Amino acid sequence: MADSPQHNLLGQPIEPCSMEPRTGFFRTGCCETDEHDLGRHVVCAEMTAEFLTFSKLRGNDLSTPRPGFPGLRPGDRWCMCAARWKEALDANVAPPVHLASTHESAAEVLERDDLIRYAADSQNLN
């Protein structure tokens, strides 16, 4: 895991995305990243039925439980790959984003305005 404090899209220390189920590349509950996270699991998204179906059709079944993974349901928050969120955006099924829990590096892959437009926690922008 990265040694230095990591920040969210708002320039503040990153907030947990989900402890139940525990998410993040490092399974710390936060969308922290480093050079080993090739998938860039930096977007804290709130799962929707539409997105979970889309992801399953794309070969990434997030809804079926497996050993060590409870499966996700609509309403669960999860650190997802920035590229997958962009694919979902392009398919009009992008799930809401929690800006305070999304790593600042998401803006290197995604348009900041798109993330803000899908913000579930837009009150944090004030």
Domains and CATH numbers, the chain: 1-126 (3.30.56.110)
Predicted confidence (pLDDT) per residue in 55-109, tens digit: 999 999 999 999 988 999 999 999 999 999 999 999 999 999 999 999 999 999 9
Provide the sign of the torsion angle of the four alpha carbons 76, 82, 88, 94, taken in this order.
positive
Cβ burial, residue 20 (10 Å; 0-12/13-18/19+): exposed
> pTM value?
0.92
Mean pLDDT of 15-20: 96
41-46 and 77-81: which strand pairing? antiparallel
Higher pLDDT, 126 or 33: 33
pLDDT for 81 equals 95
Residues in the chain: 126
Predicted confidence (pLDDT) per residue in 66-76, tens digit: 998 899 999 99
For residue 125, what pLDDT band results from cuts at 50, 70 and 90? low
Mean pLDDT of 36-52: 96
pLDDT for 68 equals 85
